[in-house]
Each structure stands twice: as structure tokens, then as C-alpha cells.
Amino acid sequence: MEVSKGKVVTLHYKVADAEGSFTESSEGREPMTYLHGYRNIVPGLESEMRGKSPGDSFKVSVAPEHGYGPRDETAVQRVPIKHLVHPGKLAPGRAVVVNTSVGQRQATILKVGRFNVDLDFNHPLAGKTLEFDVEILEVRDATDEELAHGHAHGPGDGHH
Ligand code: ZN
């Protein structure tokens, strides 16, 4: 069975940015499962998946505009520490959750002051070209429930 819209795909992956400062891999863990055609993975990878079959391995380089988008330098803001959810030990590079006027958002700490922190609201992979290394394990038809939800329901999926 080939990957197309409405198929559930199980795969192993490695991903790194071009500088090698970020790497993530499903190696030694459960493979990733996603519903194809519903923007559950970055567009540049999803478009390469189309037409592939179990057993296929491939590498793909995804530019920021087809990945997590370009960096927005205006998305860096100084925020009072009291607006952080579970501030804990604050240090540059740490990910935090912030209460904002539009609800809770994720950000990365750039600088810690006495009462404020400078936060970067960009996705950590924004502006980066990503090198994916993918091995497709399984392709199956999605269930009606998965299609209605717009995502795959895998083993160990505890979100319901
Ligand atoms: Zn669901």
C-alpha cells in the first residue's frame, strides 16, 4: 500500500538541522505514526512521503518555508516572570509556558533578569533547514474515527 491522503503511516525517522546543533530520532523508541494529508507533519516532509511504500528509506532536506517557517525577529519579547507557568529554575535555552492575552504559549528563554525574562516565541526549529532520514515501516487505511479527528490513533495513544 502506498502513502496517500487518508492513510496512516508508521515510520522511523532521524532529523537534524544543517548545523547539527539539533538532532532528534525515533531510534530505540516507538516509531512515529501519523495520518497522511492532514498537516500532522511538516509540509516539506509530507509531500515527499506521498507514493512511498513500506520498506522504502529516503533522505530529504526541508527548507524553513516548508518546515517550521522563517524566524520572526519581532517574536522576541520581555515578559514578567510572574506570567510564567511553573517558572522553576530559569536559565537561557530552557523552554517555558507563558500566560498571554491569547492563552498559554510556548517560548524559549533568551535572558533572565530580576523581574523579567526575554523570551523567544519562535518555534525552536524556525528558520532552520532540516535533514530528515526516514524509513517507512507500515501503511494502512485510517479508521473513520481517525479521519473524523484528523490524526492517527496508535498503540499507547492516551489522548482520549
Ligand atoms: Zn483522536
CA of 31 to the centre of ligand 1 (A): 18
pLDDT of residue 159: 64
CATH of 7-68+126-149, one of 2.60.40.10, 3.10.129.10, 3.10.20.90, 3.10.50.40: 3.10.50.40
CA of 113 to the centre of ligand 1 (A): 41
pTM confidence score: 0.77
- What is the Å distance from ligand 1's center to 147 Cα? 9
Domain 73-120 top-level CATH class:
mainly beta
Q: What is the pLDDT of residue 124?
A: 85
Query: Cβ contacts of residue 36 below 8 Å, gap of 6+?
Result: 3, 4, 5, 6, 7, 8, 9, 46, 49, 50
Rounded mean pLDDT for each run of 10 residues along the chain, 160 residues in total? 97 90 88 95 96 97 94 93 91 93 92 96 92 97 96 73
Burial of 62 (0-12, 13-18, 19+ CB in 10 A): buried
Q: Where are the domains of the chain?
A: 7-68+126-149, 73-120
150 Cα–ligand 1 center, Å: 7
Rounded to the nearest whole angstrom, what is the distance from the C-alpha of residue 8 to the centroid of ligand 1?
13
C-alpha 144/C-alpha 44 separation (Å) is: 26
Model confidence over 40-77: pLDDT tens digits? 999 999 999 999 999 999 999 999 999 999 999 999 99
> What is the CA(80)–ligand 1 centre distance, in A?
36
Concatenating the DSSP letter of every residue in the chain gives: ----TTEEEEEEEEEEETTSS-EEE-TTSPPEEEETTSS-S-HHHHHHHTT--TT-EEEEEE-GGGTT----GGGEEEEEGGGEES--S--TT-EEEEEETTEEEEEEEEEE-SSEEEEE-S-TTTT--EEEEEEEEEEEEPPHHHHHHTS---TT----
Q: Quote the ligand 1 centre to 6 CA distance (angstroms).
A: 14
